[in-house]
Amino acid sequence: MYWSNTRSMARFGLMISADGIWEDTQIVSECFLNEATNTSQNINQAYGYLWWLNGKSSFNLPTLQTQFSGALISSAPQDIYAALGKNDQKIYVVPSKKLVIIRMGESADETNFGLSNFDNELWQKINAVIN
């Protein structure tokens, strides 16, 4: 379990986006991060080692045996990877935009574990500003 506050989550996301380096010190192996942010098994293309991966041709959600076609977050950049936690706690890392976004608070809905309607709505609004 990862227990944190917004500032610590942001620091963690920034360290991950910097290939595991924090203040000139390699904290997490770059090799491990490369493996963690790529498909880790054949069951779910959109899952690495504790990171959810966008831009894959299909994905499975936790607790469901159904495979869905398309990207995990259709309105998000293809290269985004995310830590999707309980109650919609999220760390989004977007290498192409040099962007880390943190989401804390109450769950956006009660229907999904990790992924919610919040994800696509957020990225539609961000795209309207940065594209």
Q: Is the CB of residue 1 less than 8 Å from the CB of residue 87?
A: no
Q: How large is the average pLDDT for residues 53-58?
A: 95
Is 117 domain-assigned?
yes
Is 1 domain-assigned?
no
Q: How large is the average pLDDT for residues 69-84?
A: 94
Beta bridge partners of 101: 92
By residue range, what is the domain housing residue 39? 6-130
| pTM score over 0.75 | yes
Predicted pLDDT at 54: 96
- The CATH number of residue 121's host domain is 3.40.710.10
- If one counts the domains in the chain, the total is 1
pLDDT-based confidence at residue 61 (cuts at 50, 70, 90) = confident
Is 95 domain-assigned?
yes
Is 114 domain-assigned?
yes
pLDDT-based confidence at residue 45 (cuts at 50, 70, 90) = very high
- Chain segment 18-34, per-residue pLDDT in tens: 999 999 999 999 999 99
Q: What is the distance between the alpha carbons of residues 123 and 53, in angstroms, rounded to a whole number?
A: 15
The share of the chain scoring above pLDDT 90, in percent, equals 66
